Amino acid sequence: MVAAFDGEQLLAELDALGAIGWKPGAGLQRMAYSDPDLEARRWVLAQMQALGMQAWIDPAGNVIGYLPGGEALPALAIGSHTDSVPGGGKFDGALGVLAGLACVRTLRSQDVQLRHPLLLIDFAAEEATTSASPTGSLSFVGGLTQTALDGPGWDGRSTAALLADRGFDVAAMIANRPPMPIAAFLELHIEQGERLASAGVPIGVVEGIVGIRRYYVHFQGQANHAGTTDMARRRDALVMAAPFILAVRDAAVAHGIVGTVGRIEVHPNAPNVVPGRVTLDVEIRGLDDAVLDRVETILAAEAARCEGRLHFGHRKEPVLADPNLMAAIERGCKALGLRTMRLPSGAGHDAMNLAAICPYAMIFAPSEQGVSHAPEEWTQPHDCINAGRALLAALLEVDAMLDA
């Protein structure tokens, strides 16, 4: 069955879809609800229809294709997104949607009907170019709020204003729900890191999407003349902050997570003034809440030791993948002779929203040199094809495994 998977067609479609909104020298410009984004969605809709799927666009702009199942069971859903960041690459999201089309093409060409109905979904506005992102999948699961849409979108206006301008009915987006009960969601996506490529492993099995915790740390010193203030008499807020920044890195390394000081504000930020006040943003990401708790305690203690004050910011819980679905992916890959490796996802994906309504699992394809959200983003052709075959094998495994 998987032997009939048409890899060449998948590669041709990656090129065709990748040309929509591609600007030479500037990469993919398919920001959510922009003209090229809507054109790409209509293209996906037409591909679904050409494969004999019943297909429609829901109130959020999600493109949904449907194949009936052979038994009275809830649906299996597969898919990803086709919107991009400004200056993105042609694999992020698109590979998952096109591999889904390739799976449907294989099923049709082999005259195979799954036991479960199948939904193939191209989610809208996955990238953080709109507030409430991933917006399309959040709307799909019924989690979208007006407040979230009042935040800024990529064109400077609120997301709600951008949507209204494009003819979307915001109230209908908020009232949106899945079209039918869903038993499981499988998302294929590029890794966007370099663990698979550097290990030479073709398939990643995602253990979960990491939790994110952000903190703001304030260091209060004393601004003073940089020429006349003796070194011994200074209260330099940036010097106070420096050991804390190193402590963030050390705590992350020691606990096997990632930690970043990505933004720093120095007052008054002048070359001839001793810094009087520093504010920095810290974020840590990891899969295990207990580990994040431990690092959080260390960071609070380190901030105090450096005479800083740590404040709590935004927090997102880890979203773990379903062990049975992970095992199904691994069984499917084993039968195909494809090596797999378990790994966390450091980036958010549509799957984390789907987790609110059903179990999920994700397949990662290798990203060359870990480059993503850039025009140079690249996944080797054979890796794209293998990931698509792995998706089909996993889908068949899950279809056989789940009786509800």
CB of 188 or CB of 295, closer to Zn ion = 188
By CB under 5 A, tell whether 211 contacts Zn ion. Answer: no
Region near Zn ion per CB under 5 A, out of 84-92, 116-124, 205-213, 355-363: 84-92
Binding residue (CB under 5 A) for Zn ion from 37, 92, 302, 330: 92
CB of 261 or CB of 355, closer to Zn ion = 355
By CB under 5 A, tell whether 100 contacts Zn ion. Answer: no
Please count the other Cβ atoms lying within 10 Å of the Cβ belonging to residue 295: 19
Least separation in angstroms between residue 46's CB and Zn ion is 22
CB of 48 or CB of 125, closer to Zn ion = 125
Region near Zn ion per CB under 5 A, out of 59-67, 93-101, 153-161, 352-360: 93-101
Least separation in angstroms between residue 299's CB and Zn ion is 29
CB of 79 or CB of 117, closer to Zn ion = 79
279 by DSSP, 3-state: which? Answer: strand
By CB under 5 A, tell whether 88 contacts Zn ion. Answer: no
- Residue 330 phi, psi dihedral angles, 5° rounding: -65, -40
124 in Cβ contact with 140 (< 8 Å) = no
Least separation in angstroms between residue 183's CB and Zn ion is 24
By CB under 5 A, tell whether 37 contacts Zn ion. Answer: no
CB of 21 or CB of 93, closer to Zn ion = 93
Spatial separation of the C-alpha atoms in residues 351 and 253, rounded to whole Å: 27
Please name which of 297, 299, 295, 276 lies closest in space to residue 287, comparing C-alpha atoms: 295
CB of 43 or CB of 216, closer to Zn ion = 43
| The two structure tokens encoding residue 86 | 């400004």
Please name which of 355, 363, 359, 358 lies closest in space to residue 332, comparing C-alpha atoms: 363
Please count the other Cβ atoms lying within 10 Å of the Cβ belonging to residue 403: 9
How many residues at the interface with Zn ion, by CB under 5 A?
A: 2
Least separation in angstroms between residue 96's CB and Zn ion is 8
Least separation in angstroms between residue 83's CB and Zn ion is 9
284 by DSSP, 3-state: which? Answer: strand
Least separation in angstroms between residue 101's CB and Zn ion is 17
What's the angle, vertex CA 365, arms to CA 375 and CA 363, rounded to 5?
Answer: 130
Region near Zn ion per CB under 5 A, out of 85-93, 131-139, 197-205, 219-227: 85-93
Spatial separation of the C-alpha atoms in residues 358 and 183, rounded to whole Å: 6
Between β-strands 86-88 and 273-274, what pairing exists: parallel, antiparallel or unpaired? unpaired
Least separation in angstroms between residue 135's CB and Zn ion is 13
Burial of 9 (0-12, 13-18, 19+ CB in 10 A): middle
The residue nearest Zn ion at its CB is: 93
Least separation in angstroms between residue 84's CB and Zn ion is 8
CB of 28 or CB of 274, closer to Zn ion = 28
By CB under 5 A, tell whether 288 contacts Zn ion. Answer: no
Please count the other Cβ atoms lying within 10 Å of the Cβ belonging to residue 185: 28
CB of 205 or CB of 362, closer to Zn ion = 362
Spatial separation of the C-alpha atoms in residues 224 and 270, rounded to whole Å: 11
Contacts of 13 (CB under 8 A, 6+ apart): 47, 98, 101, 102
Least separation in angstroms between residue 373's CB and Zn ion is 9
State the residue for tokens 């294929």. 188
CB of 93 or CB of 359, closer to Zn ion = 93
By CB under 5 A, tell whether 122 contacts Zn ion. Answer: no
By CB under 5 A, tell whether 93 contacts Zn ion. Answer: yes
Report which DSSP code applies to 375: T
140 by DSSP, 3-state: which? Answer: helix
Q: Residue numbers of the site for Zn ion (CB under 5 A)? A: 92-93
